[in-house]
Structure 1
Amino acid sequence: MLKLSIVIPAYNEEGSIAETVQTLYEVLQKYKIDHEIVVINDNSKDNTIQVLQGLQQQVHSLVYYTNDGPNGFGYAVRYGLEKFSGDCVAVMMADLSDDPVDLVRFYHRMLEDNVDCVFGSRFIKGGKLIDYPFHKFVINRMANTIIRMVIGTRYNDATNAFKLYKKETIAGIQPLMAPHFNLTIELSLKTIVRGYTYTVVPNSWRNRKAGVSKLKIREMGSRYFFILMYCFIEKFFSRGDYKKNILHTDSKVK
């Protein structure tokens, strides 16, 4: 069995983080999965840190750190990926938009298929969207179509942060450089480009019930494009220097 770590970046999430952590803990306890919940307080200006302090009395698998800076979604996740202690690690959102039951399915598929990663997709049979803003849906589908064409992959939800990686995979896709939400595609595309094995399973997504989304679409376009080009250049011009099989391991993709 693998110890599961969950990295959750949190910026001004006092209205959501308690329910997210408690629900996640209850589900993982129910399925008897050895785990730790790693929350990265991204220098919040509200009472997120006080909420986390109180949660530690109830959720014994919770650890939290404060990222004093530089700040941003990517920086916070990267901070957490340096701190986790498990054999595999998932990235989840602080607003309970990701379903903990889906995480259990990811974990069991990783064990069953013996793959390096499990990717979620909200846009395959069995995937589900609840209260997804229409304009974000349109932009998401356009962005993922471009990503698929540029990288040459059938995976259709690279912008989805909710994925599970083995510890060795995270080590193998370093260095990570994206500071913002473009880290979501850097993690998944480097995994694909470097030849790690993965399984895609459907997952659900629901809109947050409290707080405000931190994703600013207008600000992120060029940043996503930069990471996409970075991964494109690595795939076609690095001569395989970073691929998993160069490290003398199996590079078969499922």
Structure 2
Amino acid sequence: MKLSVVIPAYNEQDSISETLLSLYQTLAREGIEHEIFVTNDNSKDNTLQVLERLSLQIPTLHYETNLGPNGFGYAVRYGLERFSGDCVAVMMADLSDDPEDLVKYYYKMRETDADAVFGSRWMKGGKVIDYPGLKKFINRIANLIIRMMIGIKYNDTTNAFKLYKRETIEGIKPFLSPHFNLTVELPLKAYVRGYSFVVIPNSWTNRKYGESKLKIKEMGSRYFFILLYCMIEKFFSRGDFMKKKSAKTASVSR
């Protein structure tokens, strides 16, 4: 099963080398067939030049520049339309996500045949390092609201770092979110449309370089829009978008 890793990158010249080298070394050590797909989101710094150099060291690295429209959601969507693997993970360019956790995701998907593997930083075994206090407070409130409104038994929906089968990605299209609300759209659509998932603990480490691209003040209404959209689909679409059932159905963890 070939693994693709989609990484959006905007002005990540200081972080991208460590991220990609660590990711490649980890996957190569495990002998996991993979590709690393980086979407350079029209960066204004030297991210593109760094990617050009890294491509000489990392044979599985593929990168393209998204000329526009730009934004986190658009950059991820660019990669999700072009990856070549049987499954795909979304990871951050700042090494906040641990490649060792991705290995666990991959093996868990192979073991369970689930349609998706979700990480949780807040369950037993999960951890966060240097997580800003205000951001943590908002995160926990947002995830509580999501659980109450959608009914999903999962406490880290806003965590972008997840793994999906190709069939799952195809089944939750078309994508609507141009910004960070895509991190909520992907798992909620998968849940609402009946795709199976398992949850395992993962870790998160605050970036060492640069600044976060997530602007909390700008995202509240956008997250709420996607949440309402998924609620409407769940309760009023009469199953029109549900996953087509097969004879062999993977176990569902909800």
Identity of aligned residues (%): 67
- SS of 2:244's partner is helix
Alignment of 1:167-246 (within 5 A): 167-245=166-244
- Equivalent position amino acid for 2:99 in 1: P
Partner of 1:79: 78
Match of 2:102 in 1: 103
- Answering whether residue 164 of structure 2 is matched by residue 165 of structure 1, we say yes
Give the Cα–Cα distance (whole angstroms) in 1 for the partners of residues 85 and 52 of structure 2.
22
The alpha carbon displacement at 1:247 in A equals 8.0
One-letter amino acid matched to 1:177 = L
1:195 and 1:252 in contact (8 A); partners too = no
- How far the C-alpha of 1:153 sits from its partner, in A, is 1.0
8 Å CA contact 2:112, 2:250 repeated in 1: no
Question: Where in structure 1 are there 5+ consecutive unaligned residues?
Answer: none
Distance 1:248 1:240, change over 3 A: farther
Q: How far did residue 253 of structure 1 move?
A: 2.0
SS of 2:44 mapped into structure 1: coil
User: Following the alignment from structure 1 to structure 2, what is the Cα–Cα distance between the partners of residues 53 and 37?
Assistant: 14
Amino acid at match of 1:113: T
Any unmatched runs of 5+ in structure 2? none
Paired positions, count = 253
Amino acid of the structure 2 residue aligned with 1:60: P
Cα displacement (A) at 1:83: 0.8
Aligned match of 1:94: 93
Structure-1 separation of matches of 2:248 and 2:155: 26
Local SS of the residue matching 1:245: coil
1:48 pairs with 2:40: no
Q: SS where residue 187 of structure 1 aligns?
A: helix
Rounded to whole Å, the distance in 2 between the matches of 1:128 and 1:121 is: 9
Distance 1:27 1:247 in 2: 34
Alignment deviations for residues 177-219 of structure 1 (CA, whole Å, 9 cap, x no partner): 1000000000000000000010000000000000110000000
Match in the other structure for 1:65:
64
**Partner in structure 2 of residue 139 of structure 1:** 138
TM-score (norm 1): 0.98
